[in-house]
Amino acid sequence: MDQAAGNTQRRRTAGQKAKKVREPGYSRIAHLIREEIFGGRLTAGTRLKVSEIAKRFGTSTNPAREALQVLEGEGLVTIEPNRGASVREISEDMLQNVFDLKIVLWAYIVKSFVETATPDEIAELRRRQDACEEAVQNGDYPAYHTANLAFHDYIVDHHFNAEAVAIIRKHDRWLQAMSKSDPLNLAQMRRSIAEHWRIVEAVEKGEAEEAAHAIEEHLSHTQTAFLDRLRRKRLKKSG
């Protein structure tokens, strides 16, 4: 390796290390608690004490407190004065309300994408859909999960309305954690990518209303899948 290449590699490695160091402790803790909630290790009503969280994750109390505030903002935790934090129950009504709002906002966002996307951006959306297709063809749910997020993120990240994007993002992390804890089956993945193709084709043709109808149908099916998961868990718990 010549000197220039060596310097480039060292800068890249240093940058990666710096990125890890800069990652806020509260974000890591929030992620781990989120995974525990959807993995069933923390059930609804479980008390979450700042001091215990700090001790368990080897950090100070400030990141632990901030992590709980993040999870409260996502709707996973409730924090009450003089009582502290506890895990919130994710009810079917709550999930229904979240998706009802997401469907309205996504229709608005995808129509804007159709109206403003450049040819390069449309081509990139198709490439991301190709990655979804390849994952499903291989029956690889983890790869599909990653590619699916990339597909949706590309549309959202290009939108100018930061408030609308913030509302959509509010519950994304726990919905993603829920998806990972209870993966789609192959038939569900195939239906999902078929719906993606309908969106891509509408974008390519410049058909904003068709793209909006396609994303509404796609999210309605996703909503049904999530509700089915919650019902199964509720029935299993009661049985």
- Same structural domain, 135 and 233: yes
Q: How confident is the model at residue 2 (pLDDT cuts 50, 70, 90)?
A: low
Of the pLDDT bands very low, low, confident and very high (cuts 50, 70, 90), residue 162 is very high
* Alpha-carbon 43 to chain mean position: 21
Assess whether 211 and 115 both reside in one domain.
Answer: yes
One-letter amino acid for residue 95 of the chain = L
Query: DSSP 3-state helix, strand, coil percentages of the chain (rounded to 5)?
Result: 80, 5, 20
Question: Are both 40 and 100 inside the same structural domain?
Answer: no
Domain termination residue (choose one: 87, 119, 153): 87
Q: When comparing pLDDT for 1 and 155, which is higher?
A: 155
pLDDT, tens digit, 9 for 90 and up, residues 7-34:
545 544 544 444 444 444 888 999 899 8
Q: Which residues pair with 47 in a beta bridge?
A: 86
User: Contact at 8 Å (CB) between 113 and 215?
Assistant: no
**Same domain membership, residue 72 and residue 54:** yes
Q: Count of domains in the chain? A: 2
Same domain for 60 and 97, yes or no, is: no
Domain shared by 10 and 108, yes or no: no
Query: Which of 87, 110, 128 corresponds to the end of one domain?
Result: 87
CA distance 223 to 35: 20
Q: Which of 60, 87, 114 is the last residue before a domain boundary?
A: 87
Residues whose CB is less than 8 angstroms from the CB of residue 43 and which lie 6 or more positions away in sequence, other chains included: 87
Angle at 105 between CA 130 and CA 124, to 5 degrees: 25
Kindly report, residue by residue over 185-217, the tens digit of the pLDDT: 899 999 999 999 999 999 999 999 999 999 999
Same domain, yes or no: 138 and 215: yes
Q: Check whether residue 74 and residue 167 sit in a common domain.
A: no
* CATH code of 61's domain: 1.10.10.10
For the entire predicted model, the pTM comes to 0.75
For residue 155, the enclosing domain spans: 92-238
DSSP 28-44: HHHHHHHHHHHTTSS-T
Q: What is the pLDDT of residues 56-86, one digit of tens each?
A: 999 999 999 999 999 998 888 999 888 889 9
* 175/192 same-domain check: yes
On whether both 102 and 56 belong to a single domain, the answer is no
Spatial separation of the C-alpha atoms in residues 72 and 30, rounded to whole Å = 10
